[in-house]
Every structure is written in structure tokens, then in C-alpha cells.
Structure 1
């Protein structure tokens, strides 16, 4: 029973996405939605994110879509690694982030202090894995990036605990793109 899922993955800039209307965002969100829908069938109640730009905020938008589609029992919790993580972001990104926080069902900071050192990110990864049953991670082992730290933490946790790790990789995204192209061809 996957009741609590931590969703994470690449930050937007790590995959060359610099605008939220980039066509690739819709395919990433379709992949997230597909997995979350499966998890709903398995008893999903909460989605946890840390509020990172990219995969995590796209996942939040998918949760809101699902809520609008009648899955209003699904809740979103945002656990920031530290206070004011958006402090140095561009205004447009801050506004997007703050709109997500306003719609979330729960918001808190893990360390309750401003950024100090990288240990706050490690603590965030461990905390969110400890609090969840499943990790849904947009990560492809063939492409490096920040999700590898979440993945390594989850693998270590999985050695001692029953923990489900589900990956979205670039092959899955490619098949979603191809399905969409076929669908459009026949419409």
C-alpha cells in the first residue's frame, strides 16, 4: 500500500528546460501523472516534495490536476530543506513557487533556519525518504544530476526497509512522446 510518495527528480535547468511552457514539460507531467494514477490505485494519500524548481513543482501541478479531476483525497505536502529557499530565485520562479505553496495542503521547513551548508539537502533527502513509502524519481542513470543523491539515499534506505523506488527515465519519456505523436496523427 503506497500511501505516501516522495516525488523528486531533475531540476529544470539540468535537463535544459528554461520555461514552464517548454513542450517537454507536458511530457514529464504526463509521466508523473501516469505513475501517480497507478499509486492512487495502490492507496496513495499524500505526495511529498521539497519545492525544488523542475520535477517537484511540476509534480505539485499534477497533484492539483488530479484533485480537480475528483481525486480530492490526494494531499500535497511541501517540506522545504531550509527557510526561504526561493530567496535568490528570479521573480517569475518565486511567484510560481509561492502559488504552489498557497495551494499545498501542508507546508513546513525541515531545518527551520535559513541555508547554512549542504548537510541541509542531505537531511531533506533522508527526511522525505523516511516519511514516505515510495519514491517516484525522474532520474536516468545515464544522465548525471542532482537526483542521483536522492536515488543513492533511497537505495541505502531500501537495504534495511521495505521501500518502493519507481523511476521515470528518458526511455519512458520518449515512449510518451511517440504515443502522443501517434495519437495526434490519427486525430
Structure 2
């Protein structure tokens, strides 16, 4: 199974520091969902370079690969020079992640020219995956809204959501079972 993993950007969640407790909660929830998917035949995780859920997902999958060496990870960028306007530290982090994945590619080899490149990226991810896992809640729309709507329109394409309520419940259960984060 090939899984498209995406979700909110860090700023959409009010996260401006990687040490934020919310990052730990999201990563732990992603790990739990991905381990369950591995039991269902997960072979590839496909994700993007965005700051937030996508990069945290990359980190989680890279960690899981230690225990599940057959798991493969693809990082796709919608266009060339995707991170060129980011702070240098964030560009360095993305370059490091690129170097650790099993496959890296650009959907468009040209720098940003317009929304069509983002639509092509979305369509590419939809057409090269069997299902999606999105950290997304319809009550709190964000940039992922368009990808979520497109995934709902695709026939026989399961799209599993990790909602805000689920993250809240996950955090409470984790704390109850294991103590503090």
C-alpha cells in the first residue's frame, strides 16, 4: 500500500518552535497510525516538504524505518526551489531530510509559476497513492482543504483523518497511561 501523508502547516497550528508539546503529540499520533498501517501492508509513505505535519511525518517515518526496514519513504516537492524563501536553518533541515529518504523528486522542474503546479502536485500524490492519512479537521480548514476535497472525490480512495478532537484525546490518554510528555 502507498500512503499519502499530509496535514496542517506548523503556523496553522500555532506552532513556532519544534519543542512545542503539540509537535510531540502529533508525532506520537502519526506513529501510532502508521504502525497500524504497516500491519495492513503499508510499503510506501509519500509526503511533501511543508513545515509542519509533512516534515514531522518524514521524521516519524525515518524513525520507524529502523524497526521496519522494508518501509519506503518518498519526498515530493511541487516545484523547484520550493524552500528558497525559507530561513537558512529550515532549508538546511529540509536538505537533511531529502538526503535520508528513499526517493526524492520534483513534480515540476521549474520554479514556482502559479497555482497549477500545486494542483499538479496534488493530483500526482492522489494518483500515485492508494489512500491518504491527513492531520486535518473540517471544523478548522487550512491549506490542505483542497487536497482533502480532491481525495473525497476520488473513487475507492480511503482518506483517514486525524482530527483535533482525536489529537486532544490521544494526548490525554498518553498522559494518563505514561505520565508526562
Task: Give me the TM-score of the superposition, normalised by structure 2.
Answer: 0.96
* 5+ long unaligned stretches in structure 2: none
Q: Distance in 2 between matches of 1:38 and 1:183?
A: 19
Three-state SS of the structure 1 residue aligned to 2:156 is coil
Three-state SS of the structure 2 residue aligned to 1:87 is coil
State yes or no: 1:113 paired with 2:113: no
- Aligned residues: CA RMSD: 1.2
Could you list the per-position Cα deviations for residues 27-55 of structure 1 after superposition, in whole angstroms to 9, with x for gaps in the alignment?
00111111111110110010001211110
Could you list the per-position Cα deviations for residues 80-104 of structure 1 after superposition, in whole angstroms to 9, with x for gaps in the alignment?
1001101000112111111110101
Three-state SS of the structure 1 residue aligned to 2:112 is coil
Distance 1:185 1:33, change over 3 A: closer
Q: Report if aligned partners of 1:50, 1:124 keep a CA contact under 8 Å in 2.
A: no
Three-state SS of the structure 1 residue aligned to 2:138 is coil
Map of 2:69 onto structure 1: 72
Map of 2:28 onto structure 1: 30
Q: Distance in 2 between matches of 1:156 and 1:17?
A: 31
Write out aligned runs for 1:10-29 (5 A).
Answer: 10-29=8-27
Q: Distance in 2 between matches of 1:150 and 1:91?
A: 28
Deviation at 1:74, TM superposition (A): 0.6
Map of 1:155 onto structure 2: 152
State yes or no: 1:138 paired with 2:132: no
State yes or no: 1:179 paired with 2:176: no
Q: Distance in 1 between matches of 2:17 and 2:81?
A: 22
The runs of at least 4 aligned residues of structure 1 exceeding 6 Å deviation read none
Deviation at 1:61, TM superposition (A): 0.5
Q: Distance in 2 between matches of 1:185 and 1:88?
A: 40
Three-state SS of the structure 2 residue aligned to 1:26 is helix
Map of 2:83 onto structure 1: 86
Deviation at 1:185, TM superposition (A): 4.4
**1:52 equivalent among 38, 50, 53:** 50
